[in-house]
Structure 1
């Protein structure tokens, strides 16, 4: 590569200090300096390093800013572990340092925000000196997309991945089956998609992912630092499977395809050995395509399953997941069973079940419906969404602490935070954007930033800048009243 040798332009008068840039999530530490440095793009092609710790971060930056090739230095650290990273801006050089691929990708994502909010999208930029040192509060920061009630194709899921990755969301939970549809090819049970994949809410055409499609999503997500978490909901939420294979029903009669939105009416026959053969085949095929450690077995709203049968089923399902080399995750009702070692309980409605998980030594993912469910309306005027749990505006999405949801939990009991987007009212990417943004940014900061550093007024200051940036990227973020209220106060 050959550096440009032209003289730098005149330094603007309003180059923002590093520690006032509107970064989301807010880093642990930003130490601003007194200098301002000019960075200009190189001429020539940037060849990513063969070392994946560095190369994947370089590719991420190149994909996001293909015309921007700044003088970056990458250093592999022996002291920065996990997702931790450091970025230093000094002497007209930018150094990104991390000990892992994940940490370096996080550094690249933060750098991207620094570049944009310093005015660097045009290929040259003045940036104030200083150092960002950062690591996450929680290891798991998730987003759930329900593709069962309404199907979203591979390119739409990739677009979602590109939207959530810059905010350091590192898990994408795909809700792949429900009463309304079965969305992934299982070669040993082909009717699951031949029949169960052809329906969705409102009776519009459904769809499904071939195993190659699913692998394409997995690999795309991985390139952006995101782990796919597949979910096959059971023993309830199973009408699509029951319509495809009568053998899974207690009476041996195929169910009619379902296109409504009620819950709690379906169940697998928990006494039948062939049901567990089915589960083993499904977990084995999906697990083989999923490099991440987790497999979500659902377990929620199984109202049609007798409690004793539900407990016995969850115990066997956990064992099957573990025998296939995965860590089970289940919605919080699974805590009424005998939790297997390592099974993760995802709280959505029952804080007491999260406490049961803690008492058993199992980790919890926090997804309280009243705070994190992105399918909830902002208020009564929202054009789509539900409100059975709550109306959730940005203030409600931001102003809570995962460690206080269930009295007695601490950060050490919590694996992380996840934001579920259920699919009853979403039809397209525009709908996904409307319900996801800007609330996901609030959840991203909760999952990343230490509780003592979080400040709601400052978050709103930073959020206002991101609202503009999201719209510049063609992302249809909701015009939250939280920012309008702030403007009125000011």
Structure 2
């Protein structure tokens, strides 16, 4: 969570391919050179360039698949695989100019192509890699063992030969993540919104991959500064690119209330009309929120809505003064201080409000978690705070959801399935460790490692520095599984990178603070520990910079990374600490998600 001062902090069917070799403990065979020993060339991706680093990579020297105007995308019968196939086709059609028809596996006799196949229902595809003694081309098999990686709920197995690319997975999410890997194996110009010349070459070999943690996310604060639906959708595409599967939306705070609640209409008619520095604010209608949820779900991202309680509630109190401790509506607030507001925890009217709000938000949200905030409630003593949070937790479970909250809720009684989000800057918290021993899970978001609103350096025109300066190596060089003393790796649900927006006004600002740190957090959440190496990561990250520039994504040119090409850097606004993004590759503040397959 954000704080005004550091000292106040209390924080997922074709002929079978050759049998996969046994699992190895390393990401690459010992005989294959690390990416860090190879020359970086954005025009010739290698299997070892992928980010996040896969669990296992087996390059095939001298083997390439070339995408052509006659390439077909085949998918397992059914809507889930078909949707992933159409997503891939949308990604590739604009830059290549190729038709790339999406067909059901077995319905075309054209050899080769790209196959996206759900294991257990492997429709054979003519021209795909075959295994001696197994199902012949043109037949289907349901009896084969899924390749390594494809048997995980979010894992996949990708194999590229000179004649075909085959992605296999147990779930549509796994297929989708295989497509994100395939995207990175094509030249960087595949990210262009305009038609480009080929060749479109994919390096040969196999990748078997699956995530380390089940929760891999980022948070966007739309309360301090409001971001319209197209900008949220663009942010979702950034998450999907790096196999992140949760979007945490910070929907309410002192400066604004951003989600419509029918039973309390003044929350938006009054409470949504402000933001930091006096901007116009705004809110999402229920239909707009549903659009965000559906767009995210199509990219296998789960939305986690946050209604921050009992503090960070000035906007709600301005709309409904009877919720305030003195029953008097406070004035609107457009500053950035924290900890001064609270709802009346001794009033039944407050609990009716909480029940109504969480009930309506829960009904709109298919994901399992409701985030109830819980941080920086400095206006309450510990006993009142704990009693309030105990009751709020029961309201959450009463609506069929699990509790997620900032780690200060550790003082409340245990609620089955609850998750504490740790945002502290120290590696020890006895209260949190005790809550974990009682059954809580932990989501890691240490402020001095994962907070995307922290400045990169003292000269960064955006952001804050209460948790320190956070360069890309700081975001990368830590282990979520062993970070907090007394919390075993099996109790860690995953990682999340929060972006608070006190100084962030535009989508260009969002991207500048997000990149390149978000891919670092994504690799922590996805890749096995033994696959991670800073020297190798910085070179793989450098290759991503060319892709971002091609896609019009603003990013920070970290001096720790050997970037190629020209970056897009925000320029300071006159008289302020925020920025507008400028440059030929800038995604303007009014731009939408770009192309249907993401940005």
Q: TM-score range by the shorter chain?
A: over 0.9
User: In the alignment, is the contact (CA less than 8 A) between 2:71 and 2:113 conserved in 1?
Assistant: no
Post-superposition offset of 1:429: 0.6
Aligned partners of 2:526 and 2:403: how far apart in 1?
Answer: 23
Distance in 2, matches of 1:172 and 1:288, equals 17
How far apart, in 2, do the equivalents of 1:91 and 1:468 lie?
26
Q: Distance in 2 between matches of 1:438 and 1:312?
A: 41
**What is the Cα deviation at residue 122 of structure 1?**
4.4
Q: Tell me which residue corresponds to 1:130.
A: 205
Q: 1:31 aligns with which of 58, 69, 86?
A: 58
Q: Following the alignment from structure 1 to structure 2, what is the Cα–Cα distance between the partners of residues 32 and 484?
A: 24
CA contact (8 A) 1:238 1:268 kept: yes
Question: Structure 1, residues 247-289: CA drift from partner, whole Å, max 9, x if none?
Answer: 2112211111100000000001111111111111111111111
| Deviation of the 1:60 alpha carbon | 2.0
SS at match of 1:482: coil
Aligned length: 472
| TM-score, scaled relative to structure 1 | 0.92
Residue by residue, what CA displacement relative to the aligned partner does 1:4-31 show, whole Å, maximum 9, x if unpaired?
xxxxxxxxxx9958443x2110100011
Q: Equivalents in 2 of 1:243, 1:259: separation in Å? A: 12
More moved, 276-285 vs 38-47: 38-47
Q: Which segments of 5 or more consecutive residues in structure 2 lack a partner in the other structure?
A: 1-40, 101-111, 121-145, 565-599
Partner of 1:198, secondary structure, is: coil
Give yes or no for the alignment of 1:40 onto 2:67: yes
The whole-number CA distance in structure 2 between the counterparts of 1:484 and 1:30 is 24
Matched residue, 1:56:
83
**In 2, Cα distance between the equivalents of 1:82 and 1:48?**
18
- Contact 1:149-1:201 within 8 A present in 2 as well: yes
Pick closer, same or farther for the CA change 1:113–1:485 going to 2, 3 Å.
closer
Residues 431-471 of structure 1: CA deviation (Å, up to 9, x unaligned): 00110000111111011111121000000110111111111
Is the 1:48–1:56 contact (alpha carbons within 8 Å) kept by the matching residues of 2?
Answer: no
2:255 counterpart (140, 163, 180):
180
- Deviation, 1:36, is 1.7
Partner residue in 1 for 2:512: 434
Instruction: Give the whole-Å Cα distance in 2 for the aligned partners of 1:163 and 1:341.
Output: 32
Cα offset for 1:38? 3.5
| SS at structure 2 position matched to 1:384 | coil
Distance in 2 of aligned mates of 1:316 and 1:116: 54
Q: Deviations along 1:72-108, whole A, 9 cap, x unmatched?
A: 1122224413101000012410101000111111111
Matched with 2:135 is none
8 Å CA contact 2:156–2:209 kept in 1: the answer is yes
Moved more, 277-286 or 233-242: 277-286
Distance 1:294 1:212 in 2: 20
Counterpart pick for 1:381 among 459, 471, 481:
459
Separation in 2 of the partners of 1:341 and 1:85? 31
SS at match of 1:340: coil
Higher RCO structure, 1 or 2 (CA under 8 Å, sep 6+): 2
Residue 116 of structure 1 and its aligned partner are, at CA, apart by: 3.0
The 2-side partners of 1:341 and 1:167 are apart by 30
Question: Is the deviation greater in 270-279 or in 139-148?
Answer: 270-279
Give the number of the structure whose residues are more often helix, by fraction.
Answer: 1
- Confirm or deny: 8 A CA contact 2:76 2:82 kept in the other structure: yes
SS of 2:455's partner is: coil
* Superposed counterparts of 1:24-423, under 5 Å: 24-43=51-70, 51-66=78-93, 67-68=97-98, 69=100, 71-78=113-120, 79=146, 80-116=151-187, 122=197, 124-349=199-424, 351-352=428-429, 353-423=431-501
User: Matched residues in 2 for 1:475 and 1:161: separation?
Assistant: 13
**Is the 8 Å Cα contact of residues 75 and 116 (structure 2) preserved in structure 1?**
no
The residue number in structure 2 matching 1:3 is: none
Q: Which residue of 2 aligns with 1:4?
A: none
> Alpha-carbon deviations, 1:352-402, whole Å to 9, x = none?
143123211211000000100000000100011000011000111111111
* Residues 285 and 41 of structure 1, relative CA distance in 2, 3 Å threshold: farther
- Specify the alignment match of 1:6 in structure 2: none
> What residue ranges of structure 1 are gaps of 5+ in the alignment?
1-13
Aligned to 2:552: 474
The answer to whether the Cα contact below 8 Å between 2:217 and 2:239 also exists between their aligned partners in 1 is no
Q: Deviations over 1:192-218 (max 9, x none)?
A: 000000001001110000000100111
- Measure how far apart 1:306 and its partner are: 1.9
Distance 1:485 1:63, change over 3 A: closer
Q: Is the 8 A contact 1:118 1:127 kept in 2?
A: no
Distance 1:119 1:475 in 2: 14
Q: Return the alpha-carbon distance in structure 1 between the equivalents of residues 390 and 482 of structure 2.
A: 29
d(CA) in 1 for partners of 2:340, 2:452: 24
Alignment check: 8 A CA contact 1:178 1:233 kept: yes
The 8 Å contact of residues 225 and 502 in structure 2, kept in 1 or not, is answered as yes
